[in-house]
Structure 1
Amino acid sequence: MPDGFPNRKPRTLRDATALAEAGLVPRDAVPGLDRLVRTYAIAVSPAVQALIDPADPASDPVARQYIPDMAELDTRPQEVSDPTADAPFTPVKGVVHRYPDRALLKPLLACPVYCRFCFRREVVGPDGGLLSEAELDAALDWFAGMPTVREAILTGGDPMMLSSRRLAHIVRRLSEMPHLDIIRIHSRVPVAAPERVTADLLDALGTEKALFLCVHANHAREFSASARTALKALAGAGVALLGQSVLLRGVNDDPEALAALFRAMLAARVKPYYLHQLDRAPGTARFEVPIAEGRAILRALRGRLTGLAWPTYVLDLPDGAGKAPLGPDFAQEDGGDWVVEGPLDGIAHRHGGALTKAGGSGPLCKEN
């Protein structure tokens, strides 16, 4: 059995009855959740089940990410079905091209688990959304014909749910493109289904290109012993490991929980990369942490955590405008000087004006 609580059956739970039998939802919640699952898919893997406290799943920060709630059927006016604007930037099926130098490849729309806050929650599910051979070839041909694209980002769904053969085919095709410098894969598999990190999968990731795996995790407990073993194997195979997280109410919305998450990442050889502000997908309002609160949480961590643990806090803007960093800020300009708050002492320190004029090399005199 995976680490954690040992009384879970080793199968993925995919409906409300299975959740109730596992003690993760009350039995009287089953009829309502049966309606919910017709809109939003459910999947709770054995590895995730083993991390949930059976005594109080309703308040467990791991369970909150994966156990459905009837509040998901409450759509707010600010919520939209495509909050990151994939559709307008899809030149061919399975490709999203928003940034000039990189593009997404979505070879399938299935995941080992289904996050209740997912920004693609209306399209992901057990039917898989798998690109056909012809569709995949067309998507890869698009990358081959775009010399300005230097990075291919495999996402979905979860690319590591592909067969090792199909994943190897994709990595090989991308590796043959001389203009591509980087292949990046976004995945929950190392923490949610670490048993899938097999020798065959590691072989599938073999490439001379720079290959980064961006691991999605939101709570320190997700870095179980089996997850750490999987990540160690990936690192040993030459895969560079990054971490991405979402700031979530009831999961990691305080300095202690966020610090523990980032420390757990680093201990597992994963460099925290992005902390995302929640994307406003339908039915996700219960997870939102206001930006001002998120900035305050991160401000409280500056100076308490190594710089290695510091991700970029970002908001994905609507209409495909890109990811904007949200801070927090420690400096402001004042009369040509900069006033900078010390993270350790909380005191405002004045940093004098520039030593040289802009564009020049001579001294710049300044009276104090």
Structure 2
Amino acid sequence: MKEYKRHDYREIELYKDVPEEDWNNWKWQLRNVVKDIDTLKKIMPIDESMEQDLEKCLEKFTMAITPYYASIMEKDYPRGVVRLQAVPTINELHVAADDQDDPLHEDVDSPVPGLTHRYPDRVLLLVTHICSMNCRHCTRRRMVGDHDTHLTRESIDKCIDYIREHKEIRDVLLSGGDPFTLTDDALEYVISKVREIDHVEIIRIGSRTPVVMPQRITDDLCNMLKKYHPIYVNTHFNHPDEITADSKEACERLANAGIQMGNQTVLLRDVNDCPNIMKKLMHELLRIRVKPYYIYQCDLSVGISHFRTSITKGMEIIENLRGHTTGMAVPTFVVDAPGGGGKIPVMPNYLLSQSDRRFALRNYEGVITTYTQPEEVFSNCGRCNICKESDKQYKPLDGVAKLLSGEKLYLEPANLKRRKRD
């Protein structure tokens, strides 16, 4: 079995005298996050030009790098793929024409402060504004770093009340900031309150701590989480170099507690915009028991346009994965649509043409084949009790699916001009 690298933090002058007990304590890691240039200069070489750029950038955006993540940053060249995700650059001061503070309209779709309800049966609960590290490509940089606070108990209770009152909600995603920056007791308060709600079926947690501060994934944390199954954790590895012996142990500790792990990768220029890098990342994730879940097109947040690639680059990556490796290693490539449109999957075109009887398809090798539909193509749906249930909880609540179910004949914009004519 492959051995993953364990970086020796003592090679960095700043940390050479730090006791191992402190280094492996996540609270020490949080207390010693790198936030200023003088500290950063003790970790990596910074010339005068770079220092001037950093000063300008830090006037607008904050920096926070955990000592652990600093210890795995490349030391020998300025454009290392780990370093690019952690150290600010002057590129962040460029505001592209389409940049937005809240491109996904999470604030717009928020009926209660701290909670976003966009999709019919699930909500996003932002339990904190604090992250252990300020990733340079963060889509929520409008709040993370500027407001270093957790959501108050009163605010959390209001969010819980909203979830309790809306019985269509079956899935609650805890995010932030990073929920794992909360203490075990504070996090358990939120999880236990959500778990008390009968109609909530699953709880998910979005966290980058297994990547940037794996020391946080303690036995105590895992033992607390497994009391509230089903619990799912989605983490955020962007490059194979982020997978170390420490991050592997963190992910396996969660998996051993019965927590299913997924990964959400962001497609980043000069970091992972290469089919070979992405294939290696997906393979390495499976080795540490993390299922590739999404590859995201980089969002339109202010100051991160230099990270954005073409959408076709993401399609190319999927083309190099689908059929070329196990299906378990093929995530869904999505564009999280500006304006709150949600995640839209984008993939290469495998359907070439069709008639009323046959579909012409091609596979990953370029082989073109046909699938013939049966003569009797109509499904006799609606026979069983699932469709007949009085509460209709499995019926589509909105969108094109309602057209296909026959519940609606058409959809139209709310402010259609011809509907307002006298």
State if a TM-score over 0.5 links the two structures.
Answer: yes
1:190 is aligned to 2:210: yes
Q: Contact 1:171–1:207 (CA<8 Å) still a contact in 2? A: no
Structure 2 partner of 1:105: 125
Taking structure 1 as reference, are residues 208 and 5 closer, same or farther at Cα in structure 2, changes over 3 Å only? Answer: closer
Q: Alpha-carbon deviation of 1:133? A: 1.6
**1:60 alignment partner, SS class:** coil
Show structure 1 runs of 5+ residues with no match: 362-368
CA deviation string 1:46-66 (max 9, x = no partner): 22122222011x221111111
RMSD over aligned Cα atoms = 1.8
What's the offset of the Cα at 1:23?
1.3
Say yes or no: does 1:67 pair with 2:87.
yes
1:313 counterpart = 2:333: yes
Q: Separation in 2 of the partners of 1:275 and 1:104? A: 19
Is 1:294 aligned with 2:314? yes
| TM-score, L = length of structure 1 | 0.92
Alignment CA distance shift 1:14-1:162 (3 Å)? same
Matched letter for residue 359 of structure 1? F
Name the CA shift for 1:126/1:45 in 2 (closer, same or farther; >3 Å): farther
Cα pair 2:128 2:151 within 8 Å, conserved: yes
- Work out which of the residue numbers 1, 6, 15 in structure 2 matches 1:3: 6
Distance in 2 between the 1:250 and 1:192 partners?
19
- The question of 1:353 aligning with 2:356 is answered no
TM-score, normalised to structure 2, is 0.81
What is the distance in 2 between the residues matched to 1:150 and 1:360?
A: 28
Report the counterpart of residue 171 of structure 1 in structure 2.
191
Alpha carbons 1:167, 1:204 under 8 Å: kept: no
What is the letter of the counterpart of residue 284 of structure 2? Answer: A
1:30 and 1:61 mapped to 2: Cα distance? 20
Q: Which of 55, 63, 75 is the aligned partner of 1:42?
A: 63
Aligned to 1:86: 106
In the alignment, structure 2 segments of 5+ residues that lack a partner are 16-31, 381-422
Which region of structure 1 is more displaced relative to structure 2, 45-54 or 311-320? 45-54
Secondary structure of 2:108 counterpart: helix
CA offset digits 1:120-164 (Å, max 9, x no partner): 112101642311121111112211221110011001100001111
Identity %: 31
- Give yes or no for contact 1:111–1:158 (8 Å, CA) kept in 2: yes
1:87 aligned counterpart, secondary structure = coil
Partner of 1:19: 40
Given that 1:17 and 1:30 are in contact with CA atoms closer than 8 Å, whether structure 2 keeps it comes out as: no
Which SS does the other structure have where 1:190 is aligned?
helix
Say whether the 8 Å CA contact 2:300–2:338 is kept in structure 1: no
Contact 1:213 1:241 in 2 (8 A): yes
Match of 2:247 among 182, 205, 227: 227
CA shift for structure 1 position 5 = 5.8
Cα distance, 1:248–1:352 mapped onto 2, change above 3 Å:
same
In our comparison, the structure showing a higher alpha carbon Rg is 2
Distance 1:263 1:207, change over 3 A: same
Question: Which residue does 2:172 correspond to in 1?
Answer: 152
Residues 5 and 53, structure 1, Cα contact 8 Å, conserved in 2: no
Which of 226, 237, 244 is matched with 2:257 structurally?
Answer: 237
Q: Distance in 2 between matches of 1:90 and 1:263?
A: 37
Q: 1:352 and 1:144 mapped to 2: Cα distance?
A: 47
| Structure 2 Cα separation of the partners of residues 360 and 78 of structure 1 | 45
Take 2:64 and 2:45, find their aligned partners in 1: how far apart are those partners? 12
In structure 2, the residue matched to 1:331 is: 351
Distance 2:208 2:361 in 1: 38
Deviations 1:225-264 (A, max 9, x none): 0111111111111111011100111111111100111111
Q: Which amino acid letter does the alignment assign opposite residue 23 of structure 1?
A: M
Provide the secondary structure at the position in 1 that maps to 2:161: helix
1:142 counterpart (132, 157, 162): 162
Taking structure 1 as reference, are residues 185 and 354 closer, same or farther at Cα in structure 2, changes over 3 Å only?
A: same
C-alpha change, 1:26 and 1:5, in structure 2 (3 Å) is farther
Q: Which amino acid aligns with 2:6?
A: D
Alignment-derived partner of residue 124 in structure 1: 144
Task: From the superposition, tell whether residues 19 and 156 of structure 1 become closer, same or farther in structure 2 (CA, over 3 Å).
Answer: same
Task: Provide the rounded CA distance (Å) in 2 between the counterparts of 1:82 and 1:197.
Answer: 30
Distance 1:3 1:44 in 2: 18
Question: Aligned letter for 1:353?
Answer: T
CA contact (8 A) 1:3 1:51 kept: no
In 2 relative to 1, CA 335–36 (structure 1 residues): closer, same or farther, beyond 3 Å? same
2:267 corresponds to 1:264: no
What is the SS of the residue equivalent to 2:339? helix
Return the letter of the residue paired with 1:54.
K
Give the distance between the partners of 1:353 and 1:304, measured in 2 at CA: 25
